[in-house]
Chains A and B, each alone.
Chain A
Amino acid sequence: MTIPAKMPEFIWGRQFPKIKIDHTKCTVPFLCKKCLEICPVAAFNVSRVMSLEKKLEEMDPRVDGNYVLHVSRRDKCTGCNLCIEVCPVNAISIEVPKMERLRPEVKGGQWTS
């Protein structure tokens, strides 16, 4: 078993922004696609609503409810508000948890918060 010499670094325990989508307002995401195209971190994800009887059919993006918008990568969301500004039906809301200012004090050569 190899041990990766470098792992992606996380702030463990950090709360990521919570992005809520109002699906009653956002009904044709694959047709509108404004938030999908504008997000700098590509946090959104659009997918077809799958059902067994429609599995082999092509689904029209203009029909309400054929496609649904998800949030797939909220870990990189910064709350920059671009998606909220661009959304024509005001379906997106973001709640960014407050992050404390880190104020390090030197104690015995070690940084503590």
Chain B
Amino acid sequence: MCWMCEQFGDQKHGDGLWYLNPRNYARNMYKLRAPGEKPKGADAGLETGVMEGPSIQDLISAVEKNDKEGFERMRKIMQEVGQGQQVVPLADADKILELSSPIGLESCICRKADRARDERNEFQYTCMGMGVGMLKWERWPERYKGGVRFVNVEEAKEWNHEMDDRGFVHILMLFGAPYIGGFCQCDYPDCGALRSAVDFGVGTLKSHYLAKVDYSKCNGCGICAQRCQWGALKFETTSGKANIDMFKCFGCGLCHTACPRQAISLVRRESVPAVAEVWL
């Protein structure tokens, strides 16, 4: 069980998974900042790439200075600021979208900053905002100058499935745990959340699942190997089949949804002892 489930989960709902606890979607979980209080985390300036507290730049400097203690300390602070954003496979994403309202599609801030993608209309949007925070979207004009398209649950699910087909990982974005503010659609290297998790082990928690290959069904077509963003799944030449490094697997389920022979299944992380508590 991850610490988010310990804190925000409910055994009566959704198997104890924190993001399937309907209480976490309530209006009063959304933190209103008191006047005079400094913004924190993403609220501090997602547009400018300036966050409060340590940044990836500080982690890079710590590696250069051989400062392991400093690195660990900053990593912990960054984990708190990230507030438990988590990778979620497609099946769970559908359940989340049923719980959350309103849902809006918008431009992706990471792609804008890292790859200069200016998503200007609803056909280009690659980000999904969720929850009551969407109703104050005009507070971030730069982010939303491409506009917002509000969608209903069915449209949102369909869109999420399309993004999955394209090969994007779904990462829950939190703005003040456990308030869920959106679904990032991520890939390596241009997505901040996914990249920080792969390169530095900060920010994003691994999902509650792991991908497992059924070798009797796998025919070695290699479709899954094209989709792994974590460097966990590779094509093993000797056996001619897919091979998954479970330590690196984040359980996003992209290989699972792409497999034409249903040879890759998602199993609960708890069922694999050595990686049961590997969340970062």
The interface of chain A, by Cβ under 8 A from chain B, is 2, 4-8, 10-16, 29-30, 33, 36-37, 41-42, 44-48, 50, 55-59, 61, 70, 72-76
Contact = CB atoms under 8 A, between A and B. Distances in A.
9 contacts: A8-B199, A12-B66, A33-B116, A42-B189, A42-B190, A45-B114, A48-B48, A72-B57, A73-B189
Nearest to A33: B116
A49 B246 CA distance: 42
Interface string B26-70: 000000000000000000010111000000110010011110100
Interface string B82-117: 000000000000000000000000000000111110
Interface of B: 3, 45, 47-49, 56-57, 60, 63-66, 68, 112-116, 118, 141-142, 145, 189-190, 195, 198-201, 247-248, 274-275, 277-280
A58 B63 contact: no
Contacts of B48: 47-48, 50
B170 to A, nearest CB: 20
A50 B118 CA distance: 18
A5 B247 contact: yes
Interface of A is mostly: loop
Nearest to A71: B57
A92 to B, nearest CB: 15
A99 to B, nearest CB: 13
B114 A42 contact: yes
Given A42-B190, A47-B48, A72 B65 contact: no
A12 B72 CA distance: 13
Given A5-B278, A73-B189, A57 B141 contact: yes
Contact of B56 (A33, A61, A72): A72
B142 A2 contact: no
